[in-house]
Amino acid sequence: MISDDVDDKFCPMMELPISDIKYWKRYCGVATLATIPFLATGLVILGVPIPFPAIYIPIVVVNGDVLMVIGLGNRGITFFPMVLYVNASHDYSSALVPLLIALKVVRDSFQKQLSKLELTVPNVADLMIDKLEGNNANLLNQNKQIEQEIANLKTKFKPSWAHVQKEIKKYLGIDARQKVARLE
């Protein structure tokens, strides 16, 4: 906040304090009037450029060690963000102080959320590992059962030579002992 010993009425002609949005609307109005000699190309209609001035619109005033005015600017047909910094105290201050404070708040909240996530991730990982181990045990059990079935089938069914000959004769239509003449 602006300290009490600082007079925030910078202009004796205006009764508005510098921390009031009305002050900055007037300031931006004067800044807009000052850009009239320096017009930028706006719309181009039928090859004729229509020049526009720069327009500055304050949206919010943030009080702190450094006063910040956040707004929107327009130059021609291009819009851009506008941030003005005013150091209203006797202390040395940089324009980055409010941004650094905001970044610190964001960092602290991010670290808080990250610590919650770090506590949650191992629990989720443990649950997934337990589920995968259970699935793995089921698959190993199924493999053992299949191997047992294969072993049982091998011991139950050992075909005799007569059975093999009968199957060959059934599919090929010839006696397995007959010799097939080769064409040379």
Max distance between CA atoms of the chain, in angstroms, equals 126
Quick one: pLDDT band at residue 13, thresholds 50, 70, 90? low
Tell me the percentage of the chain whose pLDDT exceeds 70. Answer: 77
Q: Which residue has the higher pLDDT, 92 or 63?
A: 63
Residue 33 has pLDDT above 80, yes or no: yes
Identify the domain boundary among 62, 90, 118: 90
pLDDT at 98 over 80: no
Residues 107 and 53 in one domain: no
In this prediction, residue 97 carries a pLDDT of: 66
**For all residues of the chain together, what is the average pLDDT?**
78
Domain count of the fold of the chain: 2
Whether residue 5 has pLDDT greater than 60? no
For 28-32, 36-40, 144-148, 152-156, which range has the lowest pLDDT when averaged over its residues?
Answer: 152-156
Predicted pLDDT of residue 103:
77
The encoded tokens of residue 126 equal: 């443990």
159 inside domain = yes
Is there a single domain that holds both residue 112 and residue 171? yes
Q: How far apart are CA 154 and CA 144, in angstroms?
A: 15
Domain that holds residue 41: 21-90
Interval 115-143 mean pLDDT: 82
Q: How far apart are CA 62 and CA 68, in angstroms?
A: 5
Query: Is 50 exceeded by the pLDDT of residue 6?
Result: no
